[in-house]
Structure 1
Amino acid sequence: MEKHTVSASLTDNTKYMNRALPVKKSFDIIERTLIIGGQNSAFYFIDGFTKDEIILKLMDSFLNISADDMPEDATSFSTSCIPYVEVDILGDFDSIFKNLLSGVTCLFIDGYEAAIAIDCRTYPSRSIEEPDKDKSLRGSRDGFVETIVFNTALMRRRIRDPHLIMEMYEAGTSTRTDVALCYMSDRVDRELLTTIQNKLEESKSQDLKMSQQSLAEALFQRKWYNPFPKYKFTERPDTACACLMEGKVIILTDTSPSALILPTSIFDMIEEANDYYFPPITGIYLKISRVLITLLTVFMVPLFLLFMQNPAWIPEIFRFVLIEDTVNIPLIFQILILELAIDGLRLAALNTPSMLSTPLSVIAGIVMGEFSVESGWFNSEIMLYMAFVSIANYTQPNFELGYALKFMRLLLLILTAIFNLPGFLTGCLIVILCITFNKTLSGRSYLNVKLN
C-alpha cells in the first residue's frame, strides 16, 4: 500500500480506510462510529482480537467527555482522556493498517491529524503446559505457546536482569509476522548479533506461511546435500533462558510455540533439559550415553552388513551374530525396506486417532514382526537391529538431527553393499566431512561454537 498520511477530516480518513480495507465484505473488520466531546469519531478493530470489556469501559469514558474538555490534538487526547496503558499515535496509514490487522484498535476523531492506536487486543491461545517432545523429569512443567507476548513473559520471569534485551522485528511482506530477537547485552557475541539483525532487517521473504521454519530458511540458505541442521529449536523456556545466559541468541516468532537458538553446534544438538537438572556426574553420564547410542544408530547396522558380507572377519567369540536362516531377499534390501516401513509406521501414528493407536500398534507389531519373519521376508536379526535403531533415535531430542543421522546411515548402507570395506570407509569419511564442514550462521565450525 502506498504511503498516505492521516488528514484532519474524519470523512477523508474513513473513505480511505473503507477503500483500502474490505470493511463491507469481511465480517471481522468492524467500523464503529461514536460522538466524543461533540466531535464525530470512528473505531476500527478486528472482531475476535479485541477485549470487549475494555472497549466498553473506554467508550463509557469517552461518552462522558464534554466539548469543553476536548484537547486540541491527538497526543493531548491520548494523555488526558484515555484511561488505558498501551496507547500510541499513528500518523500514516501504513502503520495504521499494520496495527489494525494485528488486532490493535484504531480511533479516528474529526479534527485530529493522527489516529490513536489502543492496544487492547487478545489472541486466541492454548494453556501453558509442558511440551510433549521435550519433557523433563525434575524441571518446570511450562512451555512456549503460539503467542509471542506470553513467550517473552515466560523468559522475563526467569531472567530479571536489565541486560536482557528483546527487540521486535517484522518479517514477511504479506504476513508481517512479529519476530522477537532476545539476547543478553553483556554476554552476547556482538558480531553474531549484528549479523542476525542485518539479516532480519534485510529479509525479503514474501511471507512466513510456515512460521519459524520459513524464517530460518530466509536467514540462512542451507546446502541441500548436507542434512545436518543448523538450528536448534526448543519449546522449553528454561532451556531458552539457559542458552541466553551462555551468550546465545534466541529468536521467537509469533504463532510458533518454539524458540530458535543461535549459534548451534553438534554438541548443543544432543543436549536436553534433563542434563541441567541432575548433578554433574549424572548429566555427564547421560550425555555420554546419548552420544554412544547416537553413534550406534548410525554405524551398527552398516557394520553388521559389512561383517555379514565378510564372515571370515568375525572372531570366534562373536560367531553367534552370523545369520543362519536364509531368505529370498538380500540383506541390503531387507534393511532398506524396513527403513521405509519404520517411517511409514511413524507417519501412520501421527494421523491415527488416539483411541485406535494402541490396538493398531499391536496389530502392526505382530504383522511386521512375527509374521514377516515366519513368511520368509526378513531375518529375525535384521528385525532386532532395526527395532533398536528406531527406538534409539528417540534418545536425542532433535527431530532434524535424527533424520540427518538416518540419511547418513542409508548412505553407509548403500556404499557398503556396493563397494564392501572401501565403501564403508568412504561413507564414514563423508559423514565426518558433512559434520566438519557444516557451518553455523556465524560462519564458525559445526564442531566448535565460540561464545563471549
Structure 2
Amino acid sequence: MPDTRKVTASIKENVAYMNQVLPVEESFDIVQREMTVGGREASFYFINGFVNDESMLKIMDSLFGVKAENMPGSVTAFVKECIPYVEVNVIGDFDQVFRNLLSGTACFFVDGYEACIVIDCRSYPARSVDEPDKDKSLRGSRDGFVETIVFNTALMRRRIRDSHLVMQMLEVGESSRTDVAVCYMSDRVDKELLDNVMSRLKSIRTDALRMNQQSLAECLFKRKWFNPFPKFKFTERPDTAAVCLLEGKVVIMVDNSPSAMILPTSVFDIIEEANDYYFPTLTGIYLKITRGLIALMTVFLTPVFLLFMQNLNWLPKVFAFVAVKDTVNIPLIFQLLLLEIAIDGLRLAALNTPNMLSTPLSVIAGLVMGEFSVASGWFNSEVMLYMAFVAVANYTQPNFELGYALKFMRLLLLVLTAMFNWIGFLAGCIIVICSICFNKTLSGRSYLNVKLN
C-alpha cells in the first residue's frame, strides 16, 4: 500500500519516521548522515554503493558554506541558491521519498522545510557495453545493452536524434518496484497497440518481477502453455532496437536486464538478425531465405527420414543410399530421442563448463561419444549424421525460444510418425501449421502478418 504520510517541517519527526520504516541500524548499506546547514539541523539518507562519492563531496562542501543569515525561507529557493547540482527534485510525501531512496538517489531533510530534497547523483555498478555473445554482427556496431536501464536508453537516444522519440518510465512490482521504460516514436507508432501495452503495464498486479523481462512477458500476455512459439522478440543490440523503433514498433526495457523486448512481432521478425540490415538487399534476402529453409529442415529432416525408414518401398532409387545399412540394434525412434536429450545435455554442460576446460571436454564429447557410440552399436551412423546437422542448424536461429519451439515440433513429429506412420506424420504437420497460423501476438494480430502504420 502507498505511504500517504506527508513530510513535515520538523526534522526530528521526519528522521524518527524514516528510522522507523527503514532498517538503518540493521542494514549497513542504508546510511544516515547528520549535519548542520546554515545553523539548522539536516540529515542525508542514501544507499552506500549507489551514490557518486565525488558529487556528494562537492554538494556537501557547498552546503557547509551556507551561513545562517543566508538561509532562504522556502525549500524551492534553497534548492535554487544552495545546491549546485543538475538533477534535484522536491517531494512532499514519504511514499515518493522511500521510492527514490531505495532506487539510489540521496534524500535530504532540512529543519524548517516541509519537503524532502532529492538529489540524483546515482552511480550504478555497470559493465562495459560490449557486443553481446549471442547476437553478433559481421559489419555492425560493436556495442550492446547492459543491465543499467539508463545506459540502454542512452544507446538508443544516441542513434535516434528525433524529438518524436518518447521514453516513458513506469514501475512494476509491489516489492521490487522495477523500472520499466516504454520506448516508441510518437509519429510512427500504432496508437492502438501503444494504448494496449500501456494499459496492460499499468494494470499489472504482482509482487516482483523476479526474472526481469520473462516475468514481465508472462504478466503482459498469458499465453497457452501448449504453444511454444515466442510472442515477443528480444535483442541485446541497440542498433536493432533503434531500427525497430523507426519501423513503428514499441520497445520495452526492463532494469537489470541486458535485452530489449520488441512488439508487435511476427515469425518473420523473429528470424531476422542484425546482419540482414548491414548487407545489400539481395544478400539480406538470400540470408533470410537460407535461414528459413534451414529452419524447415531442422523440423522435418529427422521425421521424414524416420518415415522413409518405416516405409522403404516409398524411397526413390535415387535416394537409396540414405537407407540405414548397418544392423539396427535400437529402434530408430529411440535413437533419435536419445540423441535429442544428449544434445541438450551437451549444451547445458557447455554452459556450466569453465572456459579453460571447454576445449578438451568438447574434443572428448565429439570423438568419444560420437565415434565410439556408433562403433559400439548404440547408434547408427546415418542417425548421428542427421542429428549432428540438426544440432548445428539450430544455432542459425538468432532467437533462442524459436529454436526450442522448432525442437518441440520436431519431437512431436517424431513421436507421431513412430506411433501412427504416415497418418501420424500428416497429423503432426497439421499441428505445426496450426501452431504457427493460430498463434496471436500481443496486439491480437496474426503471427504470420503484422501490419504497422
Q: Give the corresponding residue for 1:201.
A: 202
Structure 1, residues 337-379: CA drift from partner, whole Å, max 9, x if none?
0000000000000000000000001001112211000000000
Q: Distance in 2 between matches of 1:253 and 1:93?
A: 25
Once the two structures are superposed, residues 238-297 of structure 1 have per-residue CA deviations (whole angstroms, 9 ceiling, x without a partner) of 000000011000000100000000001000010000000000000000000000000000
Residue type at the aligned position of 1:74:
V
Aligned length: 452
Provide the residue aligned with 2:246 in structure 1.
245
1:271 matched residue in structure 2: 272
- Match in the other structure for 2:106: 105
Separation in structure 2 between the aligned mates of residue 451 and residue 76 of structure 1, nearest angstrom: 49
Tell me how large the CA RMSD over aligned residues is: 0.6
The aligned counterpart of 1:303 is: 304
Q: For 1:168, what is the secondary structure of its paired residue?
A: strand
Determine whether 1:148 maps to 2:144. Answer: no
Aligned to 1:371: 372
SS of residue matched to 1:323: coil
Letter in 2 for 1:85: V
In the aligned structure 2, how far is the partner of 1:134 from the partner of 1:321? Answer: 35
The 3-state SS of whatever aligns with 1:117 is strand
1:419 paired residue number: 420
Q: Does 1:81 align with 2:89?
A: no
Q: Which residue of 2 aligns with 1:257?
A: 258
In 1, Cα distance between the equivalents of 2:69 and 2:373? 88
The list of structure 1 runs, each at least 4 consecutive aligned residues, that deviate by more than 4 angstroms after superposition, is none
> Offset at 1:72?
1.3
SS in 2 for 1:107: strand
SS of equivalent residue, structure 2 residue 302: helix
Q: Distance in 1 between matches of 2:102 and 2:396?
A: 43
Give the partner amino acid of 2:188.
R
Tell me the equivalent position of 1:442. Answer: 443
Map 1:19-418 to 2 at 5 A: 19-418=20-419
Instruction: Tell me which residue corresponds to 1:429.
Output: 430
Amino acid at match of 1:394: Y
Separation (CA, whole Å) in 2 of partners of 1:435 and 1:104:
46
Letter in 2 for 1:165: V
SS of 2:308's partner is helix
Cα distance in 1 between the residues matched to 2:328 and 2:368: 17
Which digits, 9 at most, give the CA deviation of each residue in 1:92-142, with x for residues without a partner? Answer: 111000000000000000011100000001100001110000000000000
Question: CA shift at 1:81, angstroms?
Answer: 1.1
**TM-score calculated relative to the size of structure 1:** 0.99
SS of the residue corresponding to residue 32 of structure 1 reads: strand
Structure 1: gaps spanning 5 or more residues: none
Using the TM superposition, give the Cα deviation of residue 80 of structure 1 relative to its aligned residue in structure 2, in angstroms: 1.4
Please state whether the residue corresponding to 2:45 is helix, strand or coil.
strand
Q: CA deviation at 1:71?
A: 1.1
Match of 1:7? 8
Cα deviation, 1:126-163, whole Å, max 9, x if unaligned, reads 01110000000000000000000000000000000000
Secondary structure of 2:435's match?
Answer: helix
Q: SS of the counterpart of 2:36?
A: strand
In structure 2, stretches of 5+ residues that fail to align are: none
2: distance between equivalents of 1:412 and 1:75? 69
> 1:327 deviation in Å?
2.6
Q: Which residue of 2 aligns with 1:451?
A: 452
The amino acid across from 1:71 in the alignment is: P
Match of 1:16?
17
**Which amino acid in 2 is paired with 1:60?**
D
